[in-house]
DNA sequence: CTAAGATGTCGAT
DNA sequence: TCGACCTCTTAGG
Protein backbone atom coordinates (compact mmCIF):
# COMPACT_ATOMS: atom_id res chain seq x y z
CA UNK A 1 0.00 0.00 0.00
CA UNK A 2 2.69 2.45 -0.94
CA UNK A 3 1.25 5.92 -0.56
CA UNK A 4 3.16 8.38 1.60
CA UNK A 5 1.98 7.02 4.93
CA UNK A 6 3.58 3.66 4.11
CA UNK A 7 7.02 5.19 3.63
CA UNK A 8 6.85 7.26 6.81
CA UNK A 9 5.82 4.14 8.64
CA UNK A 10 8.74 2.25 7.15
CA UNK A 11 11.17 5.01 8.09
CA UNK A 12 9.99 4.71 11.69
CA UNK A 13 10.17 0.92 11.60
CA UNK A 14 13.73 0.82 10.23
CA UNK A 15 14.74 3.36 12.86
CA UNK A 16 13.12 1.42 15.68
CA UNK A 17 14.53 -1.95 14.70
CA UNK A 18 17.99 -0.99 13.44
CA UNK A 19 18.58 2.64 14.41
CA UNK A 20 22.09 3.36 15.69
CA UNK A 21 23.19 -0.25 15.41
CA UNK A 22 25.81 -1.71 13.18
CA UNK A 23 23.85 -3.90 10.82
CA UNK A 24 24.44 -6.60 8.29
CA UNK A 25 23.49 -5.55 4.79
CA UNK A 26 23.19 -7.86 1.84
CA UNK A 27 21.50 -8.06 -1.50
CA UNK A 28 21.08 -11.81 -1.83
CA UNK A 29 20.19 -12.07 -5.49
CA UNK A 30 19.89 -8.59 -6.84
CA UNK A 31 21.84 -5.95 -8.71
CA UNK A 32 22.39 -4.08 -5.46
CA UNK A 33 24.99 -6.57 -4.23
CA UNK A 34 27.97 -4.27 -4.75
CA UNK A 35 26.40 -1.43 -2.81
CA UNK A 36 25.33 -3.75 -0.01
CA UNK A 37 28.92 -4.82 0.42
CA UNK A 38 29.93 -1.21 0.96
CA UNK A 39 27.29 -0.75 3.69
CA UNK A 40 27.67 -4.09 5.48
CA UNK A 41 28.72 -3.70 9.10
CA UNK A 42 28.12 0.02 9.27
CA UNK A 43 25.63 1.71 11.62
CA UNK A 44 22.20 2.76 10.40
CA UNK A 45 22.35 6.36 11.56
CA UNK A 46 19.26 7.93 10.04
CA UNK A 47 15.96 7.09 8.39
CA UNK A 48 13.71 9.53 6.64
CA UNK A 49 10.72 9.70 4.30
CA UNK A 50 9.71 12.44 1.89
CA UNK A 51 6.56 11.71 -0.07
CA UNK A 52 6.88 8.18 -1.38
CA UNK A 53 10.67 8.19 -1.09
CA UNK A 54 12.51 6.46 1.75
CA UNK A 55 16.10 7.17 2.79
CA UNK A 56 18.25 4.94 4.98
CA UNK A 57 21.44 6.63 6.13
CA UNK A 58 24.63 4.75 6.92
CA UNK A 59 27.43 6.40 8.86
CA UNK A 60 30.64 4.93 10.18
CA UNK A 61 32.98 6.12 7.47
CA UNK A 62 36.26 7.87 8.17
CA UNK A 63 34.61 11.16 7.34
CA UNK A 64 31.72 11.59 9.77
CA UNK A 65 30.18 14.31 7.59
CA UNK A 66 29.60 11.92 4.73
CA UNK A 67 26.61 9.66 5.12
CA UNK A 68 25.83 7.10 2.48
CA UNK A 69 22.13 6.88 1.77
CA UNK A 70 20.04 4.10 0.35
CA UNK A 71 17.31 5.74 -1.69
CA UNK A 72 14.24 3.52 -1.94
CA UNK A 73 11.05 3.97 -3.93
CA UNK A 74 8.56 1.13 -3.75
CA UNK A 75 6.75 2.01 -6.95
CA UNK A 76 3.53 0.11 -7.42
CA UNK A 77 4.70 -3.29 -6.21
CA UNK A 78 7.52 -2.82 -3.78
CA UNK A 79 7.22 -4.32 -0.33
CA UNK A 80 9.23 -4.43 2.87
CA UNK A 81 8.75 -7.29 5.26
CA UNK A 82 10.15 -7.21 8.77
CA UNK A 83 10.73 -10.41 10.69
CA UNK A 84 12.11 -11.58 14.01
CA UNK A 85 15.08 -13.86 14.29
CA UNK A 86 17.57 -14.76 11.59
CA UNK A 87 16.52 -14.08 8.01
CA UNK A 88 15.41 -17.23 6.20
CA UNK A 89 16.96 -18.44 2.95
CA UNK A 90 15.87 -16.03 0.24
CA UNK A 91 12.84 -17.10 -1.75
CA UNK A 92 12.53 -15.17 -4.98
CA UNK A 93 14.20 -11.84 -5.52
CA UNK A 94 15.27 -9.82 -2.50
CA UNK A 95 16.82 -6.49 -3.36
CA UNK A 96 17.99 -5.48 0.08
CA UNK A 97 18.22 -7.42 3.29
CA UNK A 98 19.18 -5.77 6.58
CA UNK A 99 19.74 -7.84 9.72
CA UNK A 100 20.82 -7.02 13.25
CA UNK A 101 24.31 -8.24 14.13
CA UNK A 102 22.84 -10.62 16.69
CA UNK A 103 20.24 -12.04 14.29
CA UNK A 104 17.26 -10.93 16.35
CA UNK A 105 15.57 -9.12 13.50
CA UNK A 106 15.70 -8.63 9.75
CA UNK A 107 13.94 -6.70 7.00
CA UNK A 108 13.63 -7.71 3.34
CA UNK A 109 12.91 -5.31 0.50
CA UNK A 110 11.38 -6.73 -2.68
CA UNK A 111 10.30 -5.30 -5.99
CA UNK A 112 11.16 -1.62 -5.54
CA UNK A 113 11.28 0.77 -8.47
CA UNK A 114 14.36 2.36 -6.94
CA UNK A 115 17.01 1.05 -4.58
CA UNK A 116 20.18 3.03 -5.07
CA UNK A 117 23.21 4.09 -3.09
CA UNK A 118 23.45 7.87 -3.15
CA UNK A 119 25.49 10.63 -1.54
CA UNK A 120 24.11 13.35 0.69
CA UNK A 121 24.13 15.96 -2.12
CA UNK A 122 22.27 13.51 -4.34
CA UNK A 123 19.71 13.07 -1.58
CA UNK A 124 19.28 16.83 -1.36
CA UNK A 125 18.55 16.85 -5.06
CA UNK A 126 15.73 14.36 -4.55
CA UNK A 127 14.22 16.56 -1.83
CA UNK A 128 14.51 19.57 -4.09
CA UNK A 129 12.33 18.14 -6.78
CA UNK A 130 9.61 16.97 -4.39
CA UNK A 131 6.76 19.19 -3.26
CA UNK A 132 5.73 19.64 0.36
CA UNK A 133 4.68 16.46 2.13
CA UNK A 134 1.65 16.68 4.45
CA UNK A 135 3.45 14.31 6.81
CA UNK A 136 6.64 16.36 7.21
CA UNK A 137 6.99 19.09 9.81
CA UNK A 138 9.18 21.15 7.49
CA UNK A 139 6.61 21.33 4.71
CA UNK A 140 5.39 24.67 3.46
CA UNK A 141 1.89 24.15 2.04
CA UNK A 142 2.04 27.60 0.48
CA UNK A 143 4.45 26.17 -2.09
CA UNK A 144 1.78 23.75 -3.26
CA UNK A 145 -0.89 26.43 -3.31
CA UNK A 146 1.28 28.64 -5.51
CA UNK A 147 1.29 25.93 -8.15
CA UNK A 148 -2.27 24.72 -7.72
CA UNK A 149 -3.82 28.16 -7.85
CA UNK A 150 -2.04 29.05 -11.10
CA UNK A 151 -2.66 25.81 -12.92
CA UNK A 152 -5.18 24.86 -15.55
CA UNK A 153 -4.47 21.19 -14.83
CA UNK A 154 -7.19 19.28 -13.02
CA UNK A 155 -7.00 19.13 -9.26
CA UNK A 156 -7.02 15.34 -9.64
CA UNK A 157 -3.76 15.44 -11.58
CA UNK A 158 -2.22 18.13 -9.39
CA UNK A 159 -2.76 16.10 -6.22
CA UNK A 160 -0.87 13.20 -7.78
CA UNK A 161 1.97 15.37 -9.08
CA UNK A 162 4.82 14.80 -6.64
CA UNK A 163 6.46 18.08 -7.62
CA UNK A 164 3.35 19.94 -6.44
CA UNK A 165 2.93 18.03 -3.21
CA UNK A 166 4.32 14.67 -2.26
CA UNK A 167 2.97 11.52 -0.70
CA UNK A 168 -0.58 11.61 -2.02
CA UNK A 169 -1.55 8.60 -4.13
CA UNK A 170 -4.69 7.44 -5.81
CA UNK A 171 -6.57 6.52 -2.64
CA UNK A 172 -5.87 9.70 -0.67
CA UNK A 173 -6.58 11.75 -3.78
CA UNK A 174 -10.02 10.26 -4.29
CA UNK A 175 -10.90 10.37 -0.62
CA UNK A 176 -9.76 13.88 0.24
CA UNK A 177 -11.60 15.32 -2.76
CA UNK A 178 -14.73 13.49 -1.69
CA UNK A 179 -14.43 14.66 1.90
CA UNK A 180 -14.00 18.25 0.77
CA UNK A 181 -16.77 18.04 -1.83
CA UNK A 182 -14.54 19.00 -4.75
CA UNK A 183 -15.03 17.78 -8.32
CA UNK A 184 -11.72 16.14 -9.29
CA UNK A 185 -11.95 17.44 -12.85
CA UNK A 186 -11.87 21.11 -11.84
CA UNK A 187 -8.74 23.02 -12.80
CA UNK A 188 -6.49 23.94 -9.89
CA UNK A 189 -7.16 27.63 -10.41
CA UNK A 190 -10.88 27.08 -9.80
CA UNK A 191 -10.17 26.18 -6.17
CA UNK A 192 -10.53 28.83 -3.51
CA UNK A 193 -7.82 29.37 -0.97
CA UNK A 194 -10.21 28.08 1.67
CA UNK A 195 -10.79 24.88 -0.29
CA UNK A 196 -7.08 24.28 -0.70
CA UNK A 197 -6.35 24.94 2.95
CA UNK A 198 -9.07 22.46 3.87
CA UNK A 199 -7.64 19.86 1.47
CA UNK A 200 -4.16 20.26 2.91
CA UNK A 201 -5.33 20.10 6.51
CA UNK A 202 -7.46 17.06 5.80
CA UNK A 203 -4.50 15.32 4.16
CA UNK A 204 -2.32 15.95 7.20
CA UNK A 205 -4.96 14.35 9.42
CA UNK A 206 -5.82 11.43 7.14
CA UNK A 207 -2.21 10.58 6.37
CA UNK A 208 -1.17 10.80 10.02
CA UNK A 209 -3.92 8.29 10.76
CA UNK A 210 -2.49 6.14 7.98
CA UNK A 211 0.96 6.22 9.57
CA UNK A 212 -0.49 5.32 12.96
CA UNK A 213 -2.77 2.53 11.71
CA UNK A 214 -0.89 1.13 8.74
CA UNK A 215 -3.89 1.41 6.45
CA UNK A 216 -5.99 4.09 4.81
CA UNK A 217 -9.24 4.81 6.62
CA UNK A 218 -11.14 7.92 5.60
CA UNK A 219 -14.80 7.59 6.64
CA UNK A 220 -16.07 9.86 9.36
CA UNK A 221 -17.53 8.29 12.51
CA UNK A 222 -21.09 8.70 11.28
CA UNK A 223 -20.33 6.69 8.13
CA UNK A 224 -18.60 3.68 9.60
CA UNK A 225 -20.16 0.26 9.01
CA UNK A 226 -21.17 0.15 12.65
CA UNK A 227 -22.82 3.58 12.59
CA UNK A 228 -24.68 2.85 9.34
CA UNK A 229 -25.42 -0.79 10.02
CA UNK A 230 -23.78 -1.87 6.76
CA UNK A 231 -21.27 -4.65 6.14
CA UNK A 232 -17.59 -3.76 6.46
CA UNK A 233 -15.45 -3.55 3.37
CA UNK A 234 -13.94 -6.83 2.37
CA UNK A 235 -10.62 -6.28 0.72
CA UNK A 236 -6.98 -6.09 1.56
CA UNK A 237 -6.85 -2.37 2.13
CA UNK A 238 -8.29 -2.81 5.58
CA UNK A 239 -9.69 0.66 5.94
CA UNK A 240 -13.07 2.12 5.09
CA UNK A 241 -13.29 4.58 2.20
CA UNK A 242 -15.99 6.69 0.56
CA UNK A 243 -15.33 6.34 -3.17
CA UNK A 244 -12.03 4.62 -3.97
CA UNK A 245 -12.80 1.48 -5.98
CA UNK A 246 -16.49 1.83 -5.21
CA UNK A 247 -17.56 2.49 -8.81
CA UNK A 248 -21.30 2.04 -9.24
CA UNK A 249 -21.91 1.42 -5.55
CA UNK A 250 -24.14 3.85 -3.66
CA UNK A 251 -22.40 6.84 -2.14
CA UNK A 252 -22.23 6.39 1.63
CA UNK A 253 -23.61 9.89 2.11
CA UNK A 254 -26.24 10.38 -0.61
CA UNK A 255 -26.65 6.94 -2.24
CA UNK A 256 -25.90 8.27 -5.74
CA UNK A 257 -23.86 5.67 -7.66
CA UNK A 258 -20.14 6.45 -7.41
CA UNK A 259 -18.63 7.55 -10.74
CA UNK A 260 -15.39 6.16 -12.13
CA UNK A 261 -13.15 6.94 -15.03
CA UNK A 262 -9.56 6.92 -16.21
CA UNK A 263 -7.71 10.17 -15.79
CA UNK A 264 -4.09 10.54 -16.92
CA UNK A 265 -3.75 6.78 -16.91
CA UNK A 266 -5.03 6.28 -13.38
CA UNK A 267 -8.39 5.23 -12.01
CA UNK A 268 -10.45 8.07 -10.64
CA UNK A 269 -13.52 7.80 -8.42
CA UNK A 270 -15.93 10.46 -7.22
CA UNK A 271 -19.52 11.07 -6.24
CA UNK A 272 -21.18 13.26 -8.88
CA UNK A 273 -23.68 14.58 -6.34
CA UNK A 274 -21.40 15.25 -3.36
CA UNK A 275 -18.60 16.68 -5.52
CA UNK A 276 -20.31 19.20 -7.81
CA UNK A 277 -18.35 21.56 -10.00
CA UNK A 278 -17.72 24.78 -8.12
CA UNK A 279 -19.94 27.64 -9.35
CA UNK A 280 -18.03 29.59 -11.93
CA UNK A 281 -16.62 32.81 -10.52
CA UNK A 282 -17.58 36.14 -11.99
CA UNK A 283 -14.12 36.67 -13.50
CA UNK A 284 -14.42 33.52 -15.55
CA UNK A 285 -18.04 33.96 -16.56
CA UNK A 286 -18.65 34.45 -20.28
CA UNK A 287 -22.26 35.16 -21.21
C1' DC B 1 -4.85 -23.49 -11.25
C1' DT B 2 -4.37 -18.96 -14.39
C1' DA B 3 -5.26 -14.14 -15.45
C1' DA B 4 -5.92 -9.56 -14.50
C1' DG B 5 -5.23 -5.64 -11.99
C1' DA B 6 -3.23 -2.50 -8.32
C1' DT B 7 -1.68 2.13 -3.97
C1' DG B 8 3.69 4.57 -8.94
C1' DT B 9 6.91 6.51 -12.08
C1' DC B 10 9.70 6.91 -16.15
C1' DG B 11 10.82 7.01 -20.88
C1' DA B 12 9.54 6.30 -25.61
C1' DT B 13 6.26 7.65 -29.02
C1' DT C 1 -0.87 7.99 -24.20
C1' DC C 2 1.29 3.58 -23.73
C1' DG C 3 4.44 -0.07 -22.28
C1' DA C 4 7.82 -1.52 -18.90
C1' DC C 5 8.99 -2.43 -14.45
C1' DC C 6 8.17 -7.17 -11.64
C1' DT C 7 5.12 -8.45 -6.66
C1' DC C 8 1.15 -9.61 -4.60
C1' DT C 9 -3.85 -10.05 -4.21
C1' DT C 10 -8.11 -11.14 -5.97
C1' DA C 11 -11.38 -12.87 -9.32
C1' DG C 12 -12.57 -16.45 -12.16
C1' DG C 13 -12.56 -21.18 -14.15
Which nucleotide's C1' sits nearest to the alpha carbon of A237? B7
A4-128: CATH topology: N-terminal domain of MutM-like DNA repair proteins (3.20.190)
Q: Judge whether residue A90 contacts strand C, using its CB and a 7 Å cut-off.
A: no
- pTM, two decimals, is 0.93
**Which nucleotides in chain C lie less than 7 Å from some protein C-beta?**
1-3, 5-11
- What's the mean pLDDT in A179-197? 96
Is the CATH code 1.10.8.50 the one for domain A141-270?
A: yes
Band of the pLDDT at A278, cuts 50, 70, 90? low
Give the pLDDT band of residue A275 (cuts 50, 70, 90): very high
A88 touches strand C (CB under 7 A): no
Residue A28 CB-half CA count within 13 A: 15
Whole-number pLDDT of residue A287 = 26
**What pLDDT does A28 receive?**
86
The nucleotide closest to A113 (CA, C1' atoms): C5
Residues 220-249 of A with CB under 7 A from strand C: 235-236
Q: What is the pLDDT of residue A233?
A: 76
Check if A4-128 and A141-270 are the same fold: no
Is the C-beta atom of A265 closer than 7 angstroms to strand C?
Answer: yes
Output the distance from A265 CA to C2 C1' rounded to whole Å: 9
Q: Give the nearest nucleotide to A235, CA to C1'.
A: C10
Give the pLDDT score at A271. Answer: 96
pLDDT at A283 over 50: no
Active-site residues of A, by number, are 2-3, 52, 266
Per the CB < 8 A criterion, the answer to whether A95 and A111 are in contact is: yes
Q: How far is the CA of A75 from the C1' of B2 (A)?
A: 25
What's the average model confidence in pLDDT over A35-40? 94
- Kindly list the domain boundaries of chain A, sorted by start residue: 4-128, 141-270
The 10s digit of each residue's pLDDT in A88-141 is 888 888 999 999 999 999 999 999 999 999 999 999 999 999 999 999 999 999
For residue range A219-232, list pLDDT tens digits in order: 999 999 989 988 88
Amino acid sequence: MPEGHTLHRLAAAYRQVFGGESVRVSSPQGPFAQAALRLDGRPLTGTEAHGKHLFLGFGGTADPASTDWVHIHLGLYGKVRFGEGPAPEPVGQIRLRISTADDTAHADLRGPTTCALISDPEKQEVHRRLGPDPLRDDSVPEQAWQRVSRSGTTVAALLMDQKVLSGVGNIYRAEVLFRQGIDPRLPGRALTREQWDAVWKDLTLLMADGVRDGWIDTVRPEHTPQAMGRPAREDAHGGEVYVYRRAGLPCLVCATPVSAGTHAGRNLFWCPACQPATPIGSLQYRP
